[in-house]
Amino acid sequence: MIKVNNISFSYGSVPCLEKISLSLEEGKIYGLLGENGVGKTTLLTLLSGLKNVQRGSIDVDGFAPYDREPDFLAGQFYLPDEVWGPNATAISFARQKGIFWPDFSVSKFSEIMNIFEMDTNQKMDAMSAGQLKKTWISFALACSTKHLYLDEPTNGLDIPSKAQFRKAIMNYTREDSIIVISTHQVKDLENIIDPIIILDKRDVLLNASVQEITSKLFFDYGTVLNPDSLYSEQIPGGFIQVQHNVTGEESKLNVEALFNTVHKHKELVKGIFSHE
């Protein structure tokens, strides 16, 4: 369990996160969404101990992340959006650096690289940006950590690689893991992220499972525009509309429409999903 309690963080005089609280549970892949500049990357670096909260606290299975105790570090991995290519082959890099994570598996690394159709003997400093990203994703998953934080992991991936990424995430993560994926590429990931967190600088606008979201909001893909919809957008052949789910009818979540609904009706949506 991860508990974020009333944290704040600023860059100099510029506030980034203010009084943010949320809980993250085991066995789930969280999608972390938010507009540019709301602090998604900052939150991931705070969770992984690369930055320290200025107010409030974070508890990761009893650890304060910024203390960076060895047992804490061995159980977590943070993959930033921008990655570097060392002067080494992928397999030699994996063997050299994997020793810092007790559950790292070279064979698992090779298997995931194979899913991405990557050559483990290729030098990392000669890889394209997409190849390098796939190598680092393979390494991150091969570490088999309980806590895994991925910042825009599908940036730079082509269409086949995005499908391969989804396959790797579903097949090479622990059942008890807490995975947080920060992304703007929601269409790449909407079939694997659950729950969904929508972050604002001063609030968590939403932290709910897909089942809870669709039990309270109805996603209509029809041809008739409903003036009472919380959000509507024209799509080929009709509209995608988000409405209060007053009948309990099931519908397919559209993450982009959800995001736009939340930002159009912040306080209303917070009230709908309030557990108080």
Same structural domain, 125 and 246? no
Same structural domain, 179 and 251? no
What's the rounded mean pLDDT across residues 258-268? 94
Same structural domain, 200 and 239? no
Q: How many domains does the chain have?
A: 2
Domain termination site, one of 187, 206, 225: 206
Same structural domain, 57 and 94? yes
Domain termination site, one of 157, 174, 206: 206
Model pLDDT, residue 39: 93
Same structural domain, 229 and 144? no
Give whole-number Cα distances, 211 to 3, 90, 195, 227, in Å: 22, 40, 9, 25
Residue 276 has pLDDT above 80, yes or no: no
Domain that holds residue 260: 209-272
Domain termination site, one of 206, 232, 260: 206
Residue 90, token pair as written in the block: 């992928």
Model pLDDT, residue 203: 87
Same structural domain, 179 and 217? no
Same structural domain, 202 and 243? no
Q: Can you give the C-alpha Rg of the chain in angstroms?
A: 20
Same structural domain, 12 and 76? yes
Cα(169)–Cα(179) distance, rounded to whole angstroms?
10
Residue 30, token pair as written in the block: 């969280």
pTM above 0.85, yes or no: yes
Render pLDDT for 13-56 as a digit per residue (tens, 0 to 9).
Answer: 888 999 999 999 999 999 999 998 899 999 999 999 999 999 99
Same structural domain, 61 and 178? yes
Cα(7)–Cα(161) distance, rounded to whole angstroms?
36
Model pLDDT, residue 59: 98
Same structural domain, 87 and 185? yes
Same structural domain, 137 and 195? yes
Model pLDDT, residue 258: 96
Render pLDDT for 194-253 as a digit per residue (tens, 0 to 9).
Answer: 999 999 888 899 999 999 999 999 999 999 889 899 999 998 989 999 999 999 999 999
Same structural domain, 115 and 232? no
110: domain CATH number is: 3.40.50.300
